[in-house]
Amino acid sequence: MKQAKDDSIVVVLSAICGNLLLTIAKLFGWLISGSPSMLAEAIHSFADTANQGLLYIGIQHSRGGPSREFPWGQSASRYLWNLISAVGIFFIGFGVTTYHGVGSLFKFHETLLPKLYWLPITILTLSFFVEGYVLLIAYKKIKKKQGRRSLKNIILSGDDPTIVAVLLEDSIAVLGVITALAGLWLSHLYQSPVPDAIASIVIGILLGIMAVLLAFVNGRLLIGMAVSETKENDIRHYIEVYPSVEKVISLKTQILGPNQVKLTAEIEFHGGIMFDRKQVESDADLIRQGEEPLPILVDTIERTVRVVGNEINRLERAIREQFPEITSISLEVY
């Protein structure tokens, strides 16, 4: 669990540093050139920087352990901050960028061609390499956690969307830089501001798509998404083949945070396995010999309760050893 958090921090801090530098450079390039797509990229990098700052806050906040107010810990707060980040991307990235691009497109007669053509091209080329480097870091961290799962499965069903958010943001950032470069080059080639304005709109639409995807992923986790069906089947099978278990009546899981799962199951034990025949025969002999039946029966019931309780504790320990991500277990005897 700690490793997962450290991976997220490395990715997020790398993204913050890279995007902060790019925001300053792109803003400078827009002020000098007046390019709509350069402004779109500056807004894009600013939105990424601010939103990755929110991701970092979410990581720190999620480290709060169980308390009276939060008995299951605060790991899910990471999903809340990621959702806030997605909203910020939508309104700042998609809204402002698209609005400016559409405004430039409909007023293209008043829009001047980008000045100092070489300056925004240089800045965007450098941005491509910086964004690509941060994207590579995020991809390596995802690859390390991927295992047998597909990248699509990790994005839509993974329990740590922080690295996924950075991966998507920087993937869109690389596409945005390529789009801005294409818009600037076409504007210079045809001596028209229209391609540059269209590039700004395309960048805004890309940001909007990413924001909706991130909101969907984090929203599912916030409302209590279960682990994958394959993982649930593995857990169910493990419990069903446990020696003292007759069958699993019901089983539910809930993702509490990265590498933290809550398991609730209703099980039926093998009565014969936990039945101490010698002890019961001894109790029966005492009753036949004239001992008071009530105290003996009370002792038998108390002993049975202790046996069942101890067996539940052993089963819980076994489940945690087999599935370390299960941090909370609630077993009910049918």
Stretch 18-45: mean pLDDT: 80
* Close Cβ partners of 11 (under 8 Å, ≥ 6 residues apart): 137, 138, 141, 162, 163, 166
pLDDT of the residue at 110:
47
136 pLDDT band, cuts 50/70/90, is confident
In the chain, where does the domain assigned CATH 3.30.70.1350 lie?
229-333
* Close Cβ partners of 25 (under 8 Å, ≥ 6 residues apart): 123, 126, 127
3 pLDDT band, cuts 50/70/90, is very low
Measured CA to CA in angstroms, residue 304 lies from 52, 275, 277 at distances of: 55, 8, 12
Task: Place domain 229-333 in its CATH homologous superfamily.
Answer: Cation efflux protein, cytoplasmic domain (3.30.70.1350)
Distance CA 32, CA 38 (A): 10
Stretch 250-265: mean pLDDT: 88
**And the tokens for 330?**
């609630």
pLDDT of the residue at 319:
93
Q: Which of the two residues, 176 and 73, has the higher pLDDT score?
A: 176
Q: Is the dihedral of CA 76, 82, 86, 91 positive or negative?
A: positive
CATH number 3.40.50 given to 2-222: no
pLDDT of the residue at 116:
55
Stretch 108-113: mean pLDDT: 50
Q: Does residue 247 surpass a pLDDT of 50?
A: yes
